[in-house]
Amino acid sequence: MSDRLHGKVALVTGAGQGIGAGIAAALAKEGAAVALAGRSVAKVEARAAELTALGLTVLAIQADVSVRADVDRMVAETVTAFGQLDALVNNAQDSTKQRLVDVTDDDLELAWRTGPVASLHCMQAALPHLRETKGCVVNLGSSTAITGDATFGSYAMAKEAIRALTRVAATEWGPDGIRVNTICPAALSESAKAWGEEHPEAFARVLKSIPLRRMGDPETDIGRAVVALVSDDFGYLTGSTLILEGGRVTLG
């Protein structure tokens, strides 16, 4: 626990579980007031209750980021509750998994609406408030798009669109003092744990491909990196992609 982000307000989408929950916890433990948003109100309320029990300042908000009205309400509720908005973390994303030959228009629509379109809508809704605070946006990309992993076609397309959105926003919003960056994380979330239990040999191969020989922790590895991005420590970084995968993937 610290006051590193005292006085700042953050909104995290897809915060009911996994990486989103880890990011929200890390931000709250560093002193930020955090709105946890997600489609499942039960999940975000459960996460918020855990953080409230620690004496942290959080708010649970039910919101489906693929619905524009939900996005506008989510941002409005955050600002009404906490008075401002300093950081938006676009973590929510849905998709299917299949080879390109089997990708349907419905698969593309799902990935597109919950990924780059939702991220853009969240950013548009947050923009007036981020201008006031000279805040920042952290979008989530994926190394599956950078490496071109098989069966991730629609997901990879969506994630690379988000990285492009990040670069354009950094250019357009930089004069307002707003920073926009992307992270590409790999973490041992609930779904990753379940997959590892179902496919132990494949999971072992994945770990072997990571130089640090472990998956990241959603809170301490991914969340604390987001804390750094949100803080003044990275006040000169914008339009960039930060790979948080233990060395498995690099850019440059």
Ranges of H-type helices in the chain = 18-29, 41-52, 68-82, 105-112, 118-133, 143-147, 153-173, 190-198, 200-209, 224-230
Q: Which DSSP string corresponds to 7-22? A: T-EEEEESTTSHHHHH
Q: How far apart are CA 28 and CA 5, in angstroms?
A: 8
155 is an active site residue: yes
Q: Do 124 and 85 touch, CB atoms closer than 8 A?
A: no
Q: Which of 90, 155, 186, 189 is catalytic?
A: 155
Q: How far apart are CA 35 and CA 50, in angstroms?
A: 13
What 3-state DSSP class applies to 205? Answer: helix
The DSSP 8-state label assigned to residue 187 in this structure reads B
What is the arrangement of strands in the sheet containing 179-185, beginning at the earlier edge strand?
Answer: 58-62, 33-38, 9-13, 87-90, 136-140, 179-185, 241-244
Catalytic residues: 155
